Each structure stands twice: as C-alpha cells, then as structure tokens.
Amino acid sequence: MNYKTMVAIVSVVLAFLGVACHKKEDNYGLGNGPRSYPFNTAATVGMIADIVRNVAGDKAVVHGIIGEGVDPHVYKPSRPDVVVLSESDIVFYNGLMLEGKMGDVLIRVARKGKLVHAVTEEILDGGDYVMTDAEEHYDPHVWMDVQGWIKATDVVAKALAEYDSENAEYYKANGAKYKKELVKLDAYAKRVVSSIPEKQRVLVTAHDAFNYMGRAYGLKVMGIQGMSTESEAGVKRIEDLVSYLSENSIPAVFVESSVSDKNVKALVEGSKAKGHSIRIGGELFSDAMGASGTYEGTYIGMIDHNVTVLTRALGGEAPKKGLNGKLSH
C-alpha cells in the first residue's frame, strides 16, 4: 500500500470512529463537555503533551505516553499505556506515522468512543507544507519549525473547545497566549541562526529529524540515518559525510538525546583520519524533549536549547542561556 494512502486511511478511520461513537452518546458526546473536571487527556509524545498542558490549563490532566530520551519511531505501547489511552477523554497524536507502532492501539481506542486527534491535520490540509523523503514518506518532525507547531496549537485548542464547549473561550485564550510565546521563539531562532557564517550553516545529526528546522531557519541539514531511526546508516553514507565535512571545514556535528551517538562518533573519527578536526558540538533534542520538570523539558525550552547550542557550535552568536535565560548548559 502507498505510504501516503496508509497515513490518510489511519487518519480517516480514527476521525470517523471517534465522531461516530460519540454520536451514540446522549450526554457526553462531541461538544457536550466532560463528566467532571479535570478530565483526562493523553498525548503520544512530550512535544504534543506540552501544547495540551498550555492550552487545557487546569481543566484537564495530561498524560504523556512516550517519555524523555525515548525514540517514538520504535516505541511499542505497554499495557499501562493502553490503559491510560483507553481511560482518556481525548487523545492527541502526531498523525504522520511518527508513532508507527501505535496505530493499531489508537484505532482500538477510537472504537471505544474516545476522541483521537492528529495535531498535524491542518498542516496536511495546507498544501505542500509537509516534507517527504525520496520514497515519499511523510516527515513527521514538524515541531522543528515553530510555525508548524503554532498550527498544531490551533488544532489542540479547537479540539478542546469542541469537546468542552462550555469553556471554549478559555481554551482559545490559552492557545492565543501560548502562540505569542511561540512567535517570540520563532523570531529568536531566525535571528541567531542567521548569525552563523553562511558556509558553516550545516547541521549534521544522527538522523533526518531537522529538515523542517533547516527549511525554516536557513540550514543545510544532513542526517546519517533517514527520517526514521529504524533505517540503517550505510558505510558509504558515512564516508560521503566525512568527505563533505572535511572539504567544507564544518566545525561541528551533533548527537541526539534519543538516538545512539555511535554513528556521529564515527564521523568525528573519520574526519580526523582525513586531517580535519571536527568536534561534537552538543546534544540536541530531536524526537523527545529534555527531562520532565526542567526548562528543556518543555517545547519552548527544547527548541531554545537546540538553536542556541547549534548556533554557538557553528560559529554564530547566541546567548549561552538562550532566549529566556533558562538553559541549564
């Protein structure tokens, strides 16, 4: 089956099941509000959970399924995860096959009458925003462009307002407030990345998670692996990257918090063998945020960390503590 067709089918099935099942309920269907407060919501990954927390405020408890430092591409939901999803009133997921091994579980949850929303639904409907690889697989890492995450915030705010219409204005106001912070973050990213010498605006990481960031902020992005960490890095790919790094005097490459650093270290050693000294410029957050309870454990902190660390390592100018002066390193 064509990959894009599969994504579309999963999205349609989830949307249809959620709405159809809710129409059968007289009291607590779509837009009729929760039974009590705070109601339960679930989000597959931390970046989505952070949107929901900011928009839902004290009206909902947000359960994040996949934690920090965990790769969502290969994550298999546990029995406790399935229970949390089943007991949530609304579930939010990426929608571009980021959580590829959770599709069946999400469909089962929707069949039970739960609302299941893809936060990328507006992005997918918006024409050519979504990026693809050579095999036309959708790139799910839309949060790497803050403008994309602003669109995801709109989806969450709309979904919560429809479910709990009595508090619709509350969710809209919270969404608007959060988006103002995202606009500031987007402007900061553009400003600091533009300070990197043009020939050094090259971001090399473990896998292709940063293409949206590259497009949005003017970086050439090169991943050792493909968009999914399940793909293997070939010897030729590593050799080609070593040659590129050496020939273009790129000063740094980056490891990722949720992916093995083995291949990145191979690049460093290979470059050294060619007489080009290159260093690991820092650890970036790709498919997962930082530790819970830290600034980097929020979406804003995650992106602030990434653009600040890569800018400084590649020869640009950015404050060590980042946009909000909260970075821990």
Shared-domain flag, residues 89 and 172: yes
Same domain, residue pair 177 and 307: no
Q: Which domain holds residue 235?
A: 196-314
Whether 33 maps to a domain, the answer reads no
- Give yes or no: residues 108 and 233 share one domain: no
Domain end among 136, 167, 186: 186
Residue after which a domain boundary falls, among 141, 165, 186: 186
The number of folded domains in the chain is 2
For residues 243 and 236, is the Cβ–Cβ distance under 8 A? no
Taking residues 26-32, report their average pLDDT.
Answer: 39
Whether the pLDDT of residue 17 is over 60: the answer is: no
182 & 55 share domain: yes
pLDDT value for 2: 46
Would you say residue 26 has pLDDT above 80? no
Q: Do both 52 and 71 map to the same domain? A: yes
Confidence band, pLDDT 50/70/90 cuts, at residue 73: confident
Percentage of the chain exceeding pLDDT 90? 73
Query: Does residue 51 lie within any of the structural domains?
Result: yes
- State the CATH number of the domain containing residue 272: 3.40.50.1980
Identify whether residues 80 and 155 lie together within a single domain.
yes
Cβ-contact 313, 252 below 8 angstroms: yes
Q: Cα separation of 278 and 249, whole Å? A: 8
The answer to which of 22-36, 39-53, 98-112, 294-308 has the lowest mean pLDDT is 22-36
Look-up of token digits 């990145």: 264
pLDDT score at 307: 99
Look at residue 74 and tell me if it is in a domain: yes
pTM value is: 0.89
Please tell me the predicted confidence (pLDDT) of residue 208.
85
Structure tokens of 62? 């947000």
- Indicate the range of 90-94, 133-137, 150-154 predicted with least confidence: 133-137
Say which range, 169-173, 242-246, 308-312, has the weakest mean pLDDT. Answer: 242-246
Mean pLDDT lowest for which of 97-101, 123-127, 196-200, 307-311? 123-127
Residues 47 and 166 in one domain: yes
Average pLDDT over residues 70-79: 90
Mean per-residue pLDDT, 307-318: 98
Taking each helix axis from N to C terminus, what angle separates 79-87 and 103-111, rounded to the nearest 10 degrees?
A: 40
Average pLDDT score over the chain: 88
Q: Which residues contact 217 (CB under 8 A, 6 or more apart)?
A: 189, 190, 193, 194, 307
